[in-house]
Amino acid sequence: MYTVVLLIGRSKARALEHSFQVPYPGELSVSKPLRIVMVTSECVPYAKSGGLADVVGALPLALKNLGHEVIVVMPKYRSIKTDKFNIRPFLSPMGVWMGDTEEWCAVHKTKSSEGASVYFIESIKYFDRDDLYHDSEFNDFLDNPRRFAFLSRAALQLCKEIGFKPDIVHAHDWQAALAPAYLKVWHWDDPMLGDVASFLTIHNIGYQGVYDASHFDNIGLQWGNFTSEKLEDHGKVNFLKGGIHYADMVNTVSPTYADETRTPEMAHGLAPYLNNKGQNYVGILNGVDYAEWSPDVDALIPANFSQDDLSGKKSCKRELQKRFSLQEDEDIPLVGVVSRLAHQKGLDLLSNAIESILDNMFVQFVLLGSGDKDLERFFGHLPVRYPGRAGCFIGYSNELAHWIEAGADMFLMPSRYEPCGLNQIYSLKYGTLPVVRATGGLVDTVQQYDEISGSGTGFKFQEASAHAIYYSVGWAVSTYYDRRDHWDILVQNAMAQRFSWDDSAKEYEQAYRQAIKNKRAL
Ligand code: ADP
Ligand code: GLC
């Protein structure tokens, strides 16, 4: 390997920081460390609306531990706390050619304590807003297509500015899905980016970035790309569909969801395009950042505990009961929910079951979430109707999410579909038994309780209905009261589970290498 320093950045120091490494011919052996740029709209601890942020927060470190170099590029939203995370101005101005005009932005940078460099694209016009995707009324910003097209373009431009020649551009979800398209359509003859392979992760096929065709003019791709196998979808422009077409390799976040999304029922219209990818569409299960989500080290919960000593879990339950003004009684089973209140999560089904559950079972219930206004009103009112038995916090609170994982006895996820789901994996670690609908990643991560042998890690049901939720919660509650020996075994089994990022990162590495092969074969 020899190194060529490209002085295309704004200063020599910056160019030196990411020297452009040119491989000797034939040097690209299987073991060569990879350079990866992740393009994302969210990443913990900076900005988060869901599990995507957890994944992009943790995967780079696991890849780094395998010897790879990863940088992350994301927007600099108004809510990001620059001082807290030591985010500093890095490059200004940076011109980004959008096909119709050049737009200007600045770049800020921080280095996470463990090492992945994170670059923030600052654009007052596009990202200086309170929320990530929508206004306070939950209406999507009208310029979302242009905002996220700009993110993808800016990420590629940044690589050029700092002399970071990636082996892989890894785009996450529809917000970054145009990055593979830009690589192939715009950069095919670029000496630096022309041979770079692209990789798309679908975290949720329910969100595709579909817009009126008039927006096609704003994303800087020639109309020749507006065809039914590329970016056109029933007369509209579909970002995710475009990403699937242009990416050299596509994955989703669990093997079962990969299978499900090959079928018309579950793929929101994209099954034929995923099937067209053949072996180049795979499922890789998410891991968990156990430095954040493990009861023995969790700094946010009232008391720590472990498999060997569960006394701290009792304190967590008591404190949770206190916090929500529930009857303080360690013997009443407590059911917890932490979720976006979205159709995907099946909480409208729960709203049709929760009264029967609270009327007929001796249980307590706590929900943390926000989203759908009707569901916010319904669950927000529940504590008034069931004082001392139901608690609710409408909003976002990371601390409370940890408290519920730690203090509840069961964790309920009645999802209509679930690409992976992280909360059920967290809850396993906290000995909080998941009660889940058997779909997507919930199938892959929860083992069904067997009443004969006592084996398993939780309770799964098939049907997306209030009825099925009622009976499954009932099954878990009766196990809690009547088969306590089994309950205790299930808790031990659950806490012994490990969904490590180290294993998932190895699968990503393999998939990246396949993407590189695919790109070369073109
Ligand atoms: P999704 O990404 O579909 O929302 P996941 O289970 O993958 O579902 O991840 C959700 C993540 O967001 C978890 O880390 C969960 O704790 C967190 N989360 C969801 N809603 C809230 C909330 N209201 N407050 C705090 N954290 C939340
Ligand atoms: C999505 C999915 C969720 C998954 C997360 C992280 O938001 O809804 O199931 O765990 O992305 O991949």
Q: Domain of 398: which CATH number?
A: 3.40.50.2000
∠ CA 208-209-211 to the nearest 5 degrees? Answer: 130
- For 233-268, b/e burial (b = at least 16 CB within 10 A) is beebbbbbbbbbbbbbbbbbbbbbbbebbbeeebbb
Residues 90 and 225 in one domain: yes
Residues 462 and 516 in one domain: no
User: Minimal CA–CA distance to 335: which of 404, 420, 428, 431?
Assistant: 404
State the Cα torsion 252-256-260-266 to the nearest 10°.
-70
Residue 116's pLDDT band (cuts 50, 70, 90): confident
Question: Is residue 208, in this structure, part of any structural domain at all?
Answer: yes
Residues 318 and 245 in one domain: no
- For ligand 1, the distance from its centroid to the CA atom of residue 43, given in whole angstroms, is 13
**Ligand with the closest atom to the CA of 420:** 2
Q: Which residue has the higher pLDDT, 41 or 16?
A: 41
Residues 258 and 281 in one domain: yes
Decide if 437 contacts 448 (C-beta within 8 A). Answer: no
Residues 492 and 425 in one domain: yes
Question: Is residue 26, in this structure, part of any structural domain at all?
Answer: no
Residue partners of 373: CB distance under 8 A and separation at least 6: 138
Paired with 4 in beta bridges are 20
Ligand 2 — pocket residues by CB below 6 A?
Answer: 50-52, 55, 203-204, 253, 286, 418-422, 441
Q: Which residue has the higher pLDDT, 2 or 51?
A: 51
Residue 128's pLDDT band (cuts 50, 70, 90): very high
Decide if 226 contacts 213 (C-beta within 8 A). Answer: yes
Decide if 401 contacts 427 (C-beta within 8 A). Answer: no
**Ligand with the closest atom to the CA of 252:** 2
DSSP-derived letter for residue 479 is H
- Digit-coded pLDDT (tens) for 307-357: 999 999 999 999 999 999 999 999 999 999 999 999 999 999 999 999 999
459-461 and 433-437 as β-strands: parallel, antiparallel, unpaired? parallel
Question: What is the helix, strand, coil percentage profile of the chain, to 5?
Answer: 40, 20, 40
- pLDDT on residue 8: 32
What is the sign of the dihedral through the CA atoms of 434, 202, 505 and 444?
positive
Query: Phi and psi at residue 486, in whole multiples of 5°?
Result: -65, -45
Ligand 1 — pocket residues by CB below 6 A?
Answer: 50-52, 54, 338-340, 368-370, 396-398, 401, 420-423
Residues 275 and 348 in one domain: no
Residues 283 and 267 in one domain: yes
Question: Is residue 493, in this structure, part of any structural domain at all?
Answer: yes
Query: Phi and psi at residue 196, in whole multiples of 5°?
Result: -80, 135
**Distance of alpha carbon 260 from alpha carbon 414, whole angstroms:** 17
Q: What percent of the chain has a predicted confidence (pLDDT) above 90?
A: 92
- Digit-coded pLDDT (tens) for 211-256: 999 999 999 999 999 999 999 999 999 999 999 999 999 999 999 9
Residue 325 CB neighbours (<10 A): 12
| CA-proximal residue: ligand 1, atom 17 (nearest) | 50
Identity of residue 264: P
Range of the domain at 173: 33-287+502-520
- Digit-coded pLDDT (tens) for 56-111: 999 999 999 999 999 999 999 999 999 999 999 999 999 999 999 999 999 999 97
- Three-state DSSP class for residue 500: strand
Residues 212 and 326 in one domain: no
What are 144's two structure tokens? 């979302």
- Three-state DSSP class for residue 354: helix
Residue 103 CB neighbours (<10 A): 18
What are 9's two structure tokens? 């950045």
Which pTM value belongs to this model?
Answer: 0.93
